[in-house]
C-alpha cells in the first residue's frame, strides 16, 4: 500500500466506524460508508488480538 496504517486495539461497537474498519480486514472492498457517503480507505487494514490479561504461568 502506501506505508499508512490504523491500529485499533480495543473493543469496537458494532455501529462504530472502528468496527467497519475491522470488517475491511476480511474483505477486498476498499471503501467505508461514513455519514452516508462512501469514502476510500487508503491504508492497510489488519486485525490483531491483544489482551491485557497475563497467562497464569507468567
Per-domain residue ranges of the chain: 1-58
Please give the model's pTM, rounded to 2 decimal places: 0.62
Q: Hey, which residues does 48 pair with through a beta bridge?
A: none
Instruction: Express each pLDDT in 32-57 by its tens digit.
Output: 888 899 999 888 887 777 777 666 55
CA 35, CA 7: separation in Å to the nearest integer? 22
Cell numbers standing for residue 16: 462504530
Amino acid at each position: 500500500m502506501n506505508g499508512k496504517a490504523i491500529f485499533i486495539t480495543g473493543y469496537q461497537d458494532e455501529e462504530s466506524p472502528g468496527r467497519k474498519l475491522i470488517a475491511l480486514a476480511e474483505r477486498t472492498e476498499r471503501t467505508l460508508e461514513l455519514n452516508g457517503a462512501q469514502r476510500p480507505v487508503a491504508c492497510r487494514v489488519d486485525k490483531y488480538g491483544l489482551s491485557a490479561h497475563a497467562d497464569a504461568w507468567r
